[in-house]
Structure 1
């Protein structure tokens, strides 16, 4: 199939397919002398895998690492996709139910508790655990998980609430300077908070801030509190780390 035929079949743009080719993510089976890209059935199967991963908010760089790995198993990946999509559907179902209840609440038909208003939201990034293990090792992650596991539900809820408060503080400052005293004071709260559940050196803290921008999933979640917040946090975290190394 030619690139236009694939684009029409799948529902994506020709430009997207060209980009996938340019970055080595999906290279057509062959290119004709006239410059036409020709895609095989094997290419289409790979494209299906790519789009499953994208639906799960994997960044293209990570998708390329996975699908281009010699040990990549498509059947195994499909089983994983199904499991993750079921988890995503469950979260979305909870959020839809929360929307329906909120509409009823606004109409005066029911009364919602504050806790019910936020059912379905989760900013704790459990989906990044494997990447954390790869970056910082099993021991650091297991220690953090053990601390969380030993907390009561009330303590875990309080932790999530505190985290969201810090995000909101930073969001209110995101149009100012990353070096301001106020921004640096709030990011210290973030540094101290993270070190209550993990063990972050200044270098690891700075690296984490960079990941907020490099990883589309982090950016998407953080920017829910305010557009551009992930980039602002990266800059404030870098300034904080550099300042405290001196």
Structure 2
């Protein structure tokens, strides 16, 4: 079915101005424009708009959403599964907040003991924030993506091949050092070099680097790449990166 901009706005419970703005910034283009200039939307645009609204519900900035949905390998079904997981986390957090309200009311009525820390425990959403960061990292964090593309565009083919060869050599060295354990100084030195390599393309702080390490086991593409060097290398990389980041963030 084909929808006009007014029909889609009514269907999705958003304003016409919102759809116009999404078109202006290149986030959601209409399927086609009629000779009179009217926008028309079809099935693909309906699904894409739903993706946008789910991410907005999860408080992702429009700039980040645009970069994620603009990735060539973006998979809508995988996106829906990630959104479902985040929404369940949000649901659980909301339930904890409601329970905290009930406990606080009982505390004020002196009917129930409640530790001071329990007044604030429900406000912590570390797990949800971490998973949000993983989703952003998976589909292209806006600043990182922009920096990476800018630096790559300035490199010659020869420079790219040299950089790729250095990356393969470093990965082979890490694979050969797996028997030493993640805390071994040599392994940690190699992980430091790996981190520096990522920073060549974009600013990658310790939190982002740790999230990137998680992708090595959670994303099949990364996992397959590292498993070609040695069985179990993807997990070893993640654990070694976790150890590396924890040592630096504690300082």
When normalised by structure 1's length, the TM-score is: 0.55
Name the residue aligned to 2:53. 51
What SS does structure 2 have at the residue aligned with 1:7?
helix
Q: Name structure 2 gaps, 5 residues minimum.
A: 145-197, 214-239
Query: How many Å apart are 1:148 and its aligned residue?
Result: 8.5
Matches within 5 A, 1:216-231: none
Coordinate RMSD, CA, aligned: 2.9
Name the residue aligned to 2:133. 128
Contact 2:104 2:114 in 1 (8 A): yes
Name the residue aligned to 1:96. 98
Name the residue aligned to 1:174. none
Name the residue aligned to 1:238. none
Matches within 5 A, 1:1-246: 1-122=3-124, 124=126, 125-126=129-130, 127-128=132-133, 130=137, 135-136=203-204, 141=210, 145-146=242-243, 196-197=249-250
Name the residue aligned to 2:228. none
> Number of residues paired by the alignment?
154
Contact 2:93 2:125 in 1 (8 A): no
Could you tell me how far apart the structure 2 residues matched to 1:148 and 1:122 are? 21
Could you tell me how far apart the structure 1 residues matched to 2:119 and 2:30 are? 48
Contact 1:147 1:197 in 2 (8 A): no
Q: Name structure 1 gaps, 5 residues minimum.
A: 151-194, 199-246
What SS does structure 2 have at the residue aligned with 1:100?
helix
When normalised by structure 2's length, the TM-score is: 0.54
Higher alpha-carbon Rg? 2
